[in-house]
């Protein structure tokens, strides 16, 4: 799964997720740099499987000319109560601390899959507003990605409603082409998402077969061009959205 990060500066940075590359973490980073990428989406299990320190990871990435642009995953945060809510905020602070040590810029936040989480929009907005404020204090930002198998927020429009209500410069949207297209939906519906709200876009392909997207993502997520999704349309729609915000590329 490759990823392209749409920055608010109007520049597009191409990154690749460490989940796409075989090997241990140092090997993954070396292969990513050798392939010509300058940015990485770091999957936390790749980090926890590394026997060295955070400082060593940051040093390796820097020596290879790589930025750790995105850190993921962070799930099951919003709409909880009591001790579960306290634990969710403690996990958030821990993630932000890791990101600071790695000089990572964006936390990818998946919508909660917990059935006991509150569906009340006010509760959800309150939690994500606090998340945005903590991210800002940590000099990071957060991209909310709607998981099709989430308990309540399953679509891009669900996520956009929350992001618009939070209305914080450090809180935006993450998109994944697999989630957006694999059920047969068309990319055109995304054209009304404000470009300034889009923080991170993942490009992932899939075969043209009938399957349940909520169950089989891990089995059918492919690199762009290896499957049958209409990725050119997806990219065109989002590029036009970004252009409306930033203006045409100087090139």
**Residue 198: which CATH number?**
3.20.20.150
Is 224 among the domain residues?
A: no
Which residues, at least 6 apart from 59, have a Cβ–Cβ distance to it below 8 Å? none
Is 193 among the domain residues?
A: yes
- The Cα–Cα gap between 26 and 46 comes to 10
Whether residue 216 has pLDDT greater than 70: no
Is 60 among the domain residues?
A: yes
Helix (H, G, I), strand (E, B) or coil at 72: strand
Whether residue 183 has pLDDT greater than 60: yes
pTM of the model: 0.88
Q: What is the pLDDT of residue 240?
A: 79
**Parent domain of 58:** 2-216
Average model confidence (pLDDT) across the chain: 87
Is 78 among the domain residues?
A: yes
- Which string of b and e fits 49-85 if b means at least 16 CB within 10 Å? ebeeeeeebbebbeebebbbbbbbebbbbbbbeeeeb
- What domain count does the chain have? 1
Is 249 among the domain residues?
A: no
Is 73 among the domain residues?
A: yes
pLDDT digits (tens, 9 = 90+) for 53-94: 999 999 999 999 999 999 999 999 999 999 999 999 999 999
High-pLDDT (> 70) share of the chain, %: 86
Is 99 among the domain residues?
A: yes
250 pLDDT band, cuts 50/70/90, is very low
Is 147 among the domain residues?
A: yes
């Amino acid at each position: 799964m490759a990823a392209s990060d749409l920055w608010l500066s109007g520049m597009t940075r191409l990154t690749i997720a460490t989940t796409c590359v075989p090997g241990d973490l140092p090997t993954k980073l070396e292969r990513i740099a050798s392939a010509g990428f300058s940015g990485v989406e770091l999957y936390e299990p790749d980090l926890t499987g590394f026997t060295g320190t955070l400082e060593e990871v940051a040093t390796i990435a820097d020596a290879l000319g790589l930025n750790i642009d995105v850190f993921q995953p962070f799930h099951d945060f919003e709409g909880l109560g009591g001790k579960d809510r306290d634990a969710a905020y403690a996990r958030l602070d821990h993630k932000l601390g890791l990101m600071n040590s790695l000089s990572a810029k964006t936390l990818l936040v998946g919508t909660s899959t917990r059935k006991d989480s509150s569906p009340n929009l006010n509760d959800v907005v309150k939690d994500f507003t606090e998340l945005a404020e903590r991210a800002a204090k940590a000099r990071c930002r957060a991209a909310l990605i709607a998981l099709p198998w989430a308990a309540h927020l399953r679509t891009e429009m669900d996520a956009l409603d929350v992001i618009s209500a939070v209305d914080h410069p450090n809180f935006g949207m993450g998109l994944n082409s697999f989630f957006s297209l694999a059920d047969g939906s068309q990319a055109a519906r995304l054209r009304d998402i404000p470009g300034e709200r889009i923080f991170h876009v993942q490009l992932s392909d899939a075969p043209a077969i009938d399957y349940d997207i909520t169950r089989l993502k891990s089995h059918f997520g492919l690199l762009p061009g290896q499957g049958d999704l209409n990725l050119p349309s997806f990219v065109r729609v989002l590029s036009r959205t970004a252009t409306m915000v930033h203006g045409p590329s100087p090139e």
